[in-house]
A = this chain, B = another copy of it.
Amino acid sequence: MSSLFHHIAIAGIGLIGGSLARDIKRLKLAGRITGYGRNPARMQHACSMGLIDDWHVGFESGLQDADLVVVGTPVCSIAQVVQAMAPYCSPDALVTDVGSVKEPVVKAVASALPDKICFIGGHPIAGRENSGFESSRDGLFENRICVLTPDETTDPERLAKLTCFWEALGARVVIMNARVHDKIFGAISHLPHVVAFSLVNALVDTPEFDRTILRYSAGGFRDFTRIAASDAVMWRDIVIANRDNVLHWITVFQQSLAELTRAIASNDADSVERLFKKSRDARRELS
Contact = CB atoms under 8 A, between A and B. Distances in A.
Interface of A: 125-129, 144-145, 147, 174, 183-184, 187-206, 208-211, 213-233, 235-237, 239-240, 243, 246-247, 249-250, 252-257, 259-261, 264-265, 267, 269, 272-273, 275-280, 282-286
Nearest to A194: B260
B197 A192 contact: no
Nearest to A200: B279
B227 A220 contact: yes
Contacts of A273: 232-233, 236
A202 B253 contact: yes
Given A227-B223, A261-B250, A285-B211, A204 B127 contact: no
B174 A188 contact: no
B228 A203 contact: no
Contacts of A285: 211, 214
Nearest to A189: B220
A246 to B, nearest CB: 6
A256 B205 contact: yes
B189 A199 contact: no
B194 A232 contact: no
Contacts of A196: 220, 279
Contact of A202 (B205, B224, B255): B255
A279 B200 CA distance: 6
Instruction: Please report whether the interface of chain A is mostly helix, strand, loop or mixed according to DSSP.
Output: helix
B267 A243 contact: yes
A199 B192 contact: yes
A133 B190 CA distance: 37
Given A247-B265, A257-B194, A127 B218 contact: yes
Contact of A236 (B198, B204, B276): B276
B201 A187 contact: no
B213 A184 contact: yes
Contact of A278 (B201, B213, B215): B201
A283 B184 contact: no
17 contacts: A127-B218, A183-B208, A189-B220, A190-B220, A192-B219, A192-B220, A192-B221, A194-B261, A198-B253, A198-B260, A201-B260, A211-B285, A217-B286, A229-B279, A230-B280, A240-B267, A247-B265
A195 B193 CA distance: 12
A223 B192 contact: yes
Given A214-B285, A217-B188, A267-B240, A201 B254 contact: no
A239 B230 CA distance: 29
